[in-house]
Every structure is written in structure tokens, then in C-alpha cells.
Amino acid sequence: MKQNILLVAICAALIQGCAVTSKSHEESPSMPTTTSAALAQPALPAYYWNLVSATDASGKPLAALNKGIERKLRVSFSDKNLNISGGCNGQFGGYHYQDGILKVQPLASTLMACDKSLMDLDAQVGRFFKDDLRVVITGDKTEPMLQLTAADGSVLKLQGEATPETRYGNKGEVKFLEVAPKTVKCSHPMIPDYQCLQVRERRYDAAGLQRPTQDTWHPLYQSIEGFEHHDGVRTVLRVKEYEWKNPPADAPSRVYVLDLVVEQDASGTPK
């Protein structure tokens, strides 16, 4: 069966790139070292914020948001917009932060249907972010905690996880990699019989249309953060390539982080 989610209508958007999840290795020297609410604005886009607790004004858990803790409900910020994932649907919209108050514009949402607990989670999240929210950031720059308090006294606490841009200290470069259905045996100084992904770079024009492939297949001597390869499945990925300025001795100087799965094809043979 062949799945192809590369639609011409969204191709141009695919080239722009966005952030993805991964764990901390290195932090940018520009990250904030203080934790007051007055400095929340520069810190917000530097982390993914994962829900760890949700309580009402009396401190009792908000039952509808328990699912969000299990599913790692996440709020991420760019300079002007926020995205919320982990429920049934993604929710997104603009925001403004000033003087310790976060004002969120009306959220848009994808339109999938899920089981009732996830739909209830989406509804509760949407209601919470309609309020002006009081922001407090505590902890140090390696493990910050974001507390959002609504007008009714309900509180969300979210644990900060450094974005790749924060960890590697640069914005990264968007690339498209095609991953072959089969791995190949390759030499690795630490792992006998190591299997490498076979990859080649793909390119798209300004309209998002795929250009003829010029790159040849070659082994990738490292993993792609966030990507799990399945034998027999050819995949095209949008990734961000980051320069790792001070990697450990056995680590690569460039890191690939998954941004989007563009195509998947279970045909089993490279094209």
C-alpha cells in the first residue's frame, strides 16, 4: 500500500520548516539565566512545554486534563504563534506576552474525531487558553517550569524541554532526505555489525514540486532524531540539520532532527 501525503497545495509550506522534539545535549549561551516572570518572553520559544499537572482553584486535579499528562500535551511557541499538541487535534493561534500576562488569540484547530476523553481534553484546553493567563517561570535554564494561571484560579504546570535550536545554538537548515527501504551494513567504531540508513537528498522548487533526483544513495552513519525506520518502507523526510559545535568525541558534528514525514511507500525497493 502506498501513502503519499505530499499534496501540491501544501508543498510550498513544507519547504519552510518547523520545530520538532528531542532531548537536551547542549544549550545556547543566549538562554536566560534568571527565572522571573518579567523574562518569560525570551524563554518561551526556547523550550517545548510539556504538561505535568492541572488543578482547579482549590488544588484538585482537573479530570479532563489527566489525559493530557498521559499523552504529553505540549505547548510550543514561536515569536508570534503557539501550537498545542497531544490531544485529538492540534490547536494553534497567535499570542502576545507582556508584563507577566499571556494573551492568546482565538485558537484554530484541526478537525479529526477521536474518543470522548480526547475530545474532552481538546475542549478543556481550548477553554483554558481563552483566558488571559498569568505566567511564572521557575527553576534553572536546564529544567525550567512554566506555570499558567487562569482567571478562575485553575493552574497548568508545564516542564520545559529545550528545542533543538536551543540545544545546538543555531537555527538549523531545512533539508529533505529520502530513506531507502533497506539498511546496509557499515563500519562503526563502537558497534559491530552496525546497520546504517541509506539516504539521498531530495529537492523541491519554489512551488513545492519535486525536482529530478541527482544525489546518489549513501550510508548515513548516525540516526535521525525522532525517526524510526521500518524495514521495507521507503520514506521521504523533511529534517533540520544542525551544526553541533562541541560534540562529544564519538558524536557527529552535524545532527539531523525529524520535522515531517512527507512520503511513505511500502513498495520495498528504492526508486
* Mean pLDDT value of segment 222-234: 95
State residue 176's pLDDT score: 96
% of the chain exceeding 90 in pLDDT = 65
* Mean pLDDT value of segment 110-120: 93
Name all domains of the chain by residue range, CATH numbers in brackets: 2-21+169-265 (no CATH), 37-163 (2.40.128.270)
Grid look-up 524541554 returns: 161
Tell me the C-alpha distance between 237 and 177, whole Å.
Answer: 5
- Please say if the pLDDT value at position 1 is more than 70: no
Q: Please, which residues bridge with residue 160 across strands?
A: 49
State residue 140's pLDDT score: 86
